Amino acid sequence: MEDRFGFQRFVDEIHAASDEGGLVGAASRMADRMGYRWIAYLSMTDAQEHEITSTYAPPWVEHYFANNYEQIDPCVLASREQSQPFRWGSLGPPIEIPENVLRLYDDARSYGIRAGITIPILGPSGRWSAFTMATDESETEALARQTDYLTSMMTMMALQFHARLLITAPRFSAETRPKLLTDVQARCLQAVANGEPMKVAAHELGLTHRTVIHHLNMARKRLGAKNITHTVKTAFHLGLIK
């Protein structure tokens, strides 16, 4: 894949980073090369427990959680329910919007946050994460340059960042944090990467053909991929398969 934004440089930097600050710095530089001003990584549970690291202004982060905006933020709610990256703007969709959500949009705009893209990272046991890149551009400007290639690169970036953060930053690395893939999902993907026919892979794994397809689709959803080929490429870049 063409490397227009220095993705390999980003990978090298986060693997060389020894702490959370180093990871955030590498992600921030990568986001800047993609045309985004801020990055944020939010990890949450169904019990509303959260951890965040970001380059947003600290007063905005404090204001956001002081007003419990994480409980009504459409981006956070969407991240809990879907696995595909999604674009957003501070104006919201052309529908009737609750007053508290409008206040969230207004407050975000006051800090310059107007549009962005969020990559959901789903996990088990009611835990999920969201990696966001945001800009002070207008929604129209931001969406105009958001190509499929850029979205694909952002997805791989988010998953790389997520994997390294769980290893490097103690507050994100509790044993309850989810693995990106289950062992069975990784084994099924590895079989596909090795070029094994599906029936052969199923026999070697001791699974039915239908079960292998199920695990491949679950892996695709977890990695936010478009198809199985994309899933294999993403898993390879993350070091989940060889």
| pLDDT score, position 123 | 67
Q: Could you tell me the CATH superfamily of domain 7-172? A: Transcription factor LuxR-like, autoinducer-binding domain (3.30.450.80)
| pLDDT score, position 176 | 45
| pLDDT score, position 172 | 77
Are the C-beta atoms of residues 170 and 131 closer than 8 Å to each other?
no
Residue with tokens 């949450």, as numbered in its chain: 44
Q: Which of 89, 96, 98 is nearest to 71 (CA)?
A: 98
| pLDDT score, position 124 | 60
Q: Which of 117, 147, 115 is nearest to 130 (CA)?
A: 117
Are the C-beta atoms of residues 215 and 110 closer than 8 Å to each other?
no
Structure tokens at 173: 């690395």
CA dihedral 147, 60, 76, 24 (to 10 degrees): 60
| pLDDT score, position 130 | 95
The helix/strand/coil state of 126 is coil
Q: Which of 154, 66, 69, 144 is nearest to 108 (CA)?
A: 69
CA pair distance 31, 157, nearest whole angstrom: 9
| pLDDT score, position 48 | 65
Regions of the chain with pLDDT less than 50: 176-177
- Sorted by where each begins, the domain ranges of the chain are 7-172, 183-238
Are the C-beta atoms of residues 60 and 111 closer than 8 Å to each other?
yes
- Note the pTM of the prediction, 2 decimals: 0.71
- In this chain, the answer to whether the domains covering 7-172 and 183-238 adopt an identical fold is no
| Residue 148 buriedness (CB in 10 A; 0-12 / 13-18 / 19+) | exposed
Are the C-beta atoms of residues 113 and 136 closer than 8 Å to each other?
yes
CB count in 10 Å sphere of residue 140: 10
Note the Cα 196 to chain centre separation in Å: 29
Note the Cα 153 to chain centre separation in Å: 11
User: What are phi and psi for residue 198, nearest 5 degrees?
Assistant: -60, -40
Q: Does domain 183-238 have CATH number 1.10.10.10?
A: yes
